[in-house]
Amino acid sequence: MFKQRLIEALTIVVLIGLSVTGGYIGYFVTKFLLAIPVIGVIVKVVVSIVVVFAVAVIIGGSAVRIRDAYREHKRVQKDVEEEAQ
């Protein structure tokens, strides 16, 4: 039992170490690539396009939810009016 817990603990430590190492490597590679003017411009343009589309999806989703809520409200209102008559 002790041996199994020791192996699990070491595995967690190794995974955390690999995650941190991967983060540092990714940071430095990205920093290096962004230092090259052409690649930096391309990355900035792609990131800008992705952000614009993400915002558009969020706004579109909100608009659809508002429309659906309004239709549901109108349907319930119509049902209440029919029952009142």
The whole-number pLDDT of residue 44 equals: 85
Tell me if the pTM is above 0.85.
no
How many helices and strands in the chain, by DSSP H and E? Answer: 2, 0
Residues 6+ apart with CB under 8 A from 33: 39, 40, 43
Retrieve residue 54's tokens. Answer: 């993400």
Give per-10-residue mean pLDDT for the chain (85 aa): 86 93 90 84 89 95 93 92 83
Q: How far is CA 6 from the centre of its chain?
A: 35
